[in-house]
């Protein structure tokens, strides 16, 4: 199994995972042959990537941190909640708590959670998928930092609703593909105040969630907004959500740009350690992120090309690579599984789409 971008090159491939809509309906079932008509249907729906089964990736399984059915159900309910008229004034704390409990229960089932970015989403559903992903990332980080169960629930609620204030912003402005004018940017920035007001007026939602909505765009060097707070003046939960928010945004393909590869995002965010992001939180966060997710195409320093077939929890930069092409670009008649932890002379130098 591997994740690929939609295009003519995968015509005739077999879909490896069932794809759901955010209305919790089945769009396509696993085993469907990806014909030109089916590929067009997916693209029309705003989906740009799918998991396929093929000869090169045979036997490779991409683990799910949270079962696809549960993830889709949560996103469906978040979409329903966020599109209610009353969302502009208050949020139903019971409904949100129920969703966070479901996510938390799933995450805690695993002793060693590694996120492989298995999420397949429609571009049009970005807002709802992003909110859920940020909440999952924040919860995993909170667990790593030894948050209590009660604090985890508050963190989950706040991170799930970190962008709730955007319901008060014109959607055309939020989706604008070109650079915002200064006045437009100032309006978008006001979503932090709007979100704070909505959550503060929601009975049962506590101060941690309020602070996440207000401060998740603050940066530890004081370069963020709305108050240019620095370091530990920014609440811990907001610093956690800031990391999760930026990571998910940068790795996601939008209508106007392709998402960055996780390994590139990790390097970029570490370069901003103790500038934009709290270094302790980055370390806790990236303990659970696969920089080279299973199914990723990679190029080795030898010139060979292959696909990640197994993650290495101890040495994340040294996974098992299934070698498919030799240094001259010739496809091997039989692939080779190479454990980079046992081959110190070999290393990954880049990623590739195949």
Secondary structure of the chain in HEC code, one letter for each residue: CEEEECCHHHCCCEECCCEECCCCCEEECCCCECCHHHHHHHHHCCECEEEEECCCCCCCCCCCCCCHHHHHHHHHHHHHHHCCHHHHCCCCHHHHHHHHHHHHHHHHCCCCCCECCCCCCEHHHHHHHHHHHHHHHHHHHHHHCCCCHHHHHHHHHHHHCCCHHHHHCCHHHHCCCCCCCHHHHHHHHCHHHHHHHHHHCCCCCCHHHHHHHHHCCCCCECCCCCCCCEHHHCCHHHHHHHHHHHHHHHHCCECCECCCCHHHHHHHHHHCECCCECHHHHHHHHCCECCCCCCCEEEECCCCEEEEEECCCCCCCCCEEEEEECCCCCEEEEEEEEEHHHCCCCCEEEECCC
pLDDT of residue 178: 87
Residues 21 and 84 in one domain: no
> Residue 122's pLDDT band (boundaries 50, 70, 90)?
low
291 closest CA partner among 330, 335, 247: 247
Residues 279 and 315 in one domain: no
Residues 36 and 143 in one domain: no
pLDDT in tens, 176-212: 888 899 999 999 999 999 999 999 999 999 999 999 9
Residue 59 in any domain: the answer is no
pLDDT in tens, 272-292: 999 999 999 999 999 888 888
Residues 230 and 340 in one domain: no
Residues 10 and 126 in one domain: no
Domain that holds residue 327: 297-351
> Residue 127's pLDDT band (boundaries 50, 70, 90)?
confident
> Residue 117's pLDDT band (boundaries 50, 70, 90)?
low
Residue 260 in any domain: the answer is yes
Of 232, 267, 286, the one marking the end of a domain is 286
Residues 327 and 182 in one domain: no
pLDDT in tens, 300-324: 999 999 999 998 888 888 999 999 9
pLDDT of residue 88: 95
The larger pLDDT score, comparing residue 265 to residue 23, is at 265
Residue 291 in any domain: the answer is no
Residue 58 in any domain: the answer is no
pLDDT above 70 for 160: yes
Residue 195 in any domain: the answer is yes
Of 233, 258, 286, the one marking the end of a domain is 286
pLDDT of residue 128: 85
Residue 243 in any domain: the answer is yes
pLDDT of residue 261: 86
Residues 174 and 243 in one domain: yes
pLDDT above 70 for 7: yes
The larger pLDDT score, comparing residue 113 to residue 109, is at 109
**Of the candidate ranges 108-112, 273-277, 339-343, 350-354, the one whose mean pLDDT is the lowest:** 108-112
pLDDT in tens, 219-276: 999 999 999 999 999 999 999 999 999 999 998 877 667 788 888 999 999 999 999 9
Q: For the residues 132-138, what does the mean pLDDT come to?
A: 95
Residues 178 and 234 in one domain: yes
pLDDT above 90 for 166: yes
Residue 292 in any domain: the answer is no
Q: What are 305's two structure tokens?
A: 């090309």
Residues 92 and 189 in one domain: yes
pLDDT above 60 for 120: no
User: Domain of 41: which CATH number?
Assistant: 3.90.105.10
Residue 319 in any domain: the answer is yes
The larger pLDDT score, comparing residue 6 to residue 247, is at 247
pLDDT in tens, 48-105: 788 888 888 888 888 777 887 888 889 889 999 999 999 999 999 999 999 999 999 9
pLDDT of residue 296: 87
Residues 181 and 275 in one domain: yes
Residues 220 and 100 in one domain: yes
**Of the candidate ranges 21-30, 102-111, 325-334, the one whose mean pLDDT is the lowest:** 21-30
Average pLDDT, the chain: 90
Residues 218 and 98 in one domain: yes
pLDDT above 60 for 295: yes
**Tally of structural domains, the chain:** 3
> Residue 348's pLDDT band (boundaries 50, 70, 90)?
very high
């Amino acid at each position: 199994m591997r994740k690929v971008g939609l295009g003519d090159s995968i015509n005739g491939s077999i879909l490896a995972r069932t794809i759901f809509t955010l209305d919790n309906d089945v769009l396509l079932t696993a085993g469907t042959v990806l014909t030109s008509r089916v590929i067009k249907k997916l693209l029309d729906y705003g989906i740009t990537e799918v998991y396929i089964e093929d000869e090169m990736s045979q036997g490779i399984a991409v683990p799910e941190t949270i079962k696809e059915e549960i993830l889709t159900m949560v996103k469906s309910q978040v979409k329903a909640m966020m599109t209610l008229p009353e969302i502009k004034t208050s949020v139903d704390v019971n409904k949100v708590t129920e969703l966070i409990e479901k996510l938390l229960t799933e995450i805690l089932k695993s002793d060693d959670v590694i996120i492989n970015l298995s999420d397949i989403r429609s571009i049009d559903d970005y807002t709802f998928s992003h909110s859920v992903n940020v909440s999952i990332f924040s919860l995993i980080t909170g667990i790593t930092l030894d948050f209590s169960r009660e604090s985890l629930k508050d963190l989950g609620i706040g991170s799930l609703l970190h962008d709730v204030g955007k319901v008060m912003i014109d959607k055309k402005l939020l989706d604008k593909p070109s650079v915002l004018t200064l006045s437009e940017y100032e309006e978008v920035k006001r979503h932090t105040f709007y979100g704070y007001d909505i959550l503060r007026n929601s009975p049962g939602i506590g101060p941690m969630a309020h602070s996440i909505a207000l401060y998740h765009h603050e940066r530890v060097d004081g370069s963020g907004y709305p108050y240019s707070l620095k370091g530990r003046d920014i609440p811990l939960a907001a610093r956690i959500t800031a990391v999760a928010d930026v990571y998910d945004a940068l790795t996601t393909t939008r209508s106007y740009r392709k998402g960055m590869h996780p390994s590139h995002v990790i390097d970029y965010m570490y370069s901003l350690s103790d500038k934009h992001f709290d270094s302790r939180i980055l370390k806790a966060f990236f303990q659970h992120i696969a920089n080279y997710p299973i199914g990723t195409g990679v190029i080795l320093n030898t010139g060979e090309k292959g696909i990640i077939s197994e993650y290495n929890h101890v040495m994340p930069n040294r996974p098992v690579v299934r070698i498919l092409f030799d240094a001259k670009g010739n496809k091997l008649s039989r692939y080779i599984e190479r454990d980079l932890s046992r081959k110190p002379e070999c290393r990954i130098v880049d990623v590739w789409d195949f």
